[in-house]
Amino acid sequence: MGLLLVGLAGLAGLAGPVGCGGGSTGTDTASADVQRLLDRRAAAVREGVGDDDGGGEKAFVATAPPGSVAAGERAEARTEFRNLRAVPLTDWSYRVTAFRRSGDRATADAELRYRLDGYDRAPVVAARALSLTRAEGRWYVTGDRPAADTGPQLWEQGAVVAVRGEHSLVLGVGQSRGTLRGYADLADHAVPAVREAWGGQWPGRVVVLVPASLEGMAKLLGAPASGYRGIAAVTTGEAGGSGKAPADRIIVNPDAYGVLGSFGRQVVLTHETTHVATRAATSAATPLWLSEGYADWVGYRGTGRTPAQVAPELTRAVVDGRAPAALPADGDFGFDGDAGKLARAYESGWLACRMIAERWGEARLGEFYGVVGAHGKRAGAVAAGLREVLDMSPEEFTELWREYVRDRLG
């Protein structure tokens, strides 16, 4: 990607309040000067990350204010660059979207765009809030933070260690290289397993982010940590079939993941990799029982585990006479602290997908998934898929599933 320059005409509409001694023309000139400053900052990252000659680091640090009074800001810039150094980047650029100046101080909103080499098909876009100061006729960056209501990038949590697998890239903070290698091995096993089950047009590569703790995971997701306690991993990404979105990120909760055995860890990575593979076929029309149930079906496929072993919470409910009357709603998958309810929702979706694969075949299950996602809107999507692929009504399917649950778990 080339430099993203914003000309004066494009910036005229972005100019904010002007301090004493300046007019709109001065503000426009300043905003263009700031864009050029960010272009230099981006070039330092693109040219210096991964190199050991120190030139990129010097250029990056030079975008912070000079002099002894700014020693802390330069040290912060140096740390930020070093945290980022191991990340395999192919692009990095900024685009100023708003600019507000008051004398020799200013703030700017900007879009940071970057791509991970070999993994992102389109840039990841992150909103940034910049603080700037002007000294001796030049602008400098005094602060570069995530914009309000957005999460930080992984390298803002510490120095990143990168491990490449055959089908995976694992980026971690506060983790040993050996630990990250273990994640890469699991992901490398997951990708061909998912490809065998799903097929489809997807790159067959996954990016796994491993922060130091649950709190680090929650910050990456921009959500409270309490909502992910006990959740081993999640997959981010925009649902929809454009195929132009960047690769999803599998974000691990090392606290929960660490208590799993080797089998559980593999199931989790395969489940999340399935979400990456099926993203283009998943839309707002896809109910969670189908997307999560299908990911679990792939995760457990070929393991030899029985329904009772995979679905212990639902088994207890059936034995106690509390067999579900309907497939779980999306709300049943919420992380509201009721672990049993959440487990039963996942297990119910898994059994529905397992039933389709057993009765109609794995190919039909994949076809059903695709038809539902292609419907475009939730209303009528499952009914259309059932009618077109399985020649059933929703009522007939639900009753068949209820019988299947009682038969397999009772």
Amino acid identity, residue 289?
A: W
Amino acid identity, residue 68?
A: S
Please tell me whether residues 15 and 38 are part of one structural domain: yes
Question: How far, in Å, CA of 201 to CA of 190, rounded?
Answer: 16
Amino acid identity, residue 285?
A: A
Q: What is the chain's pLDDT, residue by residue, as a tens digit (410 residues)?
A: 332 222 222 222 333 332 333 344 455 799 999 999 999 999 999 987 655 567 899 999 999 999 766 688 899 999 999 999 999 999 999 999 999 999 999 999 999 999 999 999 889 999 999 999 999 999 999 999 999 989 899 999 999 999 999 999 999 999 999 999 999 999 999 999 999 999 878 999 999 999 999 999 999 998 889 888 889 999 987 443 344 445 589 999 999 999 999 999 999 999 999 999 999 999 999 999 999 999 999 999 999 999 999 999 999 999 999 999 999 999 999 877 688 999 999 999 999 999 999 999 999 999 999 999 999 899 999 999 999 999 999 999 999 999 999 999 98
Whether this prediction's pTM lies above 0.75 is answered by: yes
* Angle 124-130-135 from CA coordinates, rounded to 5°: 135
The residues facing 172 across adjacent strands are 161, 210
Please tell me whether residues 59 and 95 are part of one structural domain: yes
The residues facing 98 across adjacent strands are 109
Please tell me whether residues 140 and 19 are part of one structural domain: yes
Please tell me whether residues 131 and 237 are part of one structural domain: no
Give the CATH number for residue 234. 3.30.2010.30
Last residue in a domain, options 256, 277, 298: 277
Question: How far, in Å, CA of 410 to CA of 398, rounded?
Answer: 17
Residue 8's pLDDT is 23
Amino acid identity, residue 113?
A: R
Which residues have a Cβ under 8 Å from the Cβ of 261 and sit 6 or more positions away?
none
399 near 387, Cβ under 8 Å? Answer: no
Residue 23's pLDDT is 41
Give a yes or no: residue 2 inside a domain. Answer: no
Please tell me whether residues 41 and 116 are part of one structural domain: yes
Residue 339's pLDDT is 86
Give a yes or no: residue 401 inside a domain. Answer: yes
Please tell me whether residues 265 and 288 are part of one structural domain: no
Residue 335's pLDDT is 75
Question: How far, in Å, CA of 86 to CA of 278, rounded?
Answer: 29
Give a yes or no: residue 35 inside a domain. Answer: yes
Give a yes or no: residue 3 inside a domain. Answer: no
Which residues have a Cβ under 8 Å from the Cβ of 69 and sit 6 or more positions away?
none
Give the CATH number for residue 102. 3.10.450.50
Please tell me whether residues 170 and 64 are part of one structural domain: no
Give a yes or no: residue 1 inside a domain. Answer: no
Q: Is 351 left (phi over 0), alpha (psi -120 to 50) or beta?
A: alpha
Least Cα distance to 407 among 342, 320, 315, 326 occurs for 315
Please tell me whether residues 246 and 178 are part of one structural domain: yes
Give a yes or no: residue 318 inside a domain. Answer: yes
Residue 226's pLDDT is 86
Domain range for residue 394?
283-410
Least Cα distance to 237 among 124, 111, 115, 116 occurs for 124
How many domains would you assign to the chain?
Answer: 3
Last residue in a domain, options 150, 169, 191: 150
Residue 107's pLDDT is 98
